[in-house]
């Protein structure tokens, strides 16, 4: 399989996106030499390297801490937005969105279905 050929599994390919980092000519030459020895495509080598790097980074406690801080900041911002919307509406958005009438009654047009009219 060359770099330009499509893999046989179309479902897997549909989920993939192009990622084209710029690298030095020296690194490219090393990759090409190793690719020739191993028989792997540049895509396979790049995907393996990025997967290994991602696993290493995700195992770093400092990175995990930063990720959690980012999530907490997003939650804080969403709470601020919710409070602002509630203030504009003059009601609690959580109460209004969670209230569902037990009896649906007539529809928008005020008409009832056939079974309700009989």
Q: Give the H/E segment covering residue 68.
A: helix 61-89
pLDDT for 29 = 93
**What is d(CA 78, CA 70) in angstroms, rounded to the nearest whole number?**
12
- Our count of domains for the chain comes to 2
70 and 84 both lie in a single domain: yes
Percent of the chain with pLDDT strictly greater than 90: 53
Residue 113 is assigned to a structural domain of this protein: no
The Cα angle at residue 76 between residues 73 and 80, in degrees rounded to 5:
140
Please report whether residue 36 resides in a domain. yes
62-74 exposure pattern, b = at least 16 Cβ within 10 A, e = fewer? eeeeeeeeeeeee
Task: Give me the torsion for CA of 44, 45, 49, 55, rounded to 10°.
Answer: 30
Statement to judge: residues 44 and 32 lie in one domain:
yes
The full DSSP string for 12-51 is: HHHT---------HHHHHHHHHHHHHH---HHHHHHHHHH
Does any domain span residue 41? yes
Return mean pLDDT, the chain. Answer: 78
The parent domain of residue 85 ranges over 61-96
User: Does 46 lie in the same domain as 34?
Assistant: yes
pLDDT tens digits, residue range 71-112? 999 999 999 999 999 999 987 655 545 554 555 444 444 455
């Amino acid at each position: 399989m060359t770099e330009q050929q499509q893999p046989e599994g179309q479902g897997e390919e549909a989920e993939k996106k192009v990622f084209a980092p710029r690298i030095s000519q020296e690194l490219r030459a090393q990759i090409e030499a190793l690719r020739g020895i191993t028989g792997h495509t540049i895509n396979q080598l790049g995907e393996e390297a990025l997967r290994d790097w991602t696993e290493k980074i995700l195992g770093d406690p400092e990175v995990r801490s930063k990720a959690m801080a980012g999530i907490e900041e997003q939650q804080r911002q969403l709470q601020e937005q919710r409070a602002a919307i509630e203030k504009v509406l003059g009601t609690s958005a959580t109460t209004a969105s969670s209230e569902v009438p037990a009896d649906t009654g007539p529809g928008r047009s005020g008409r009832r279905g056939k079974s309700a009219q009989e």
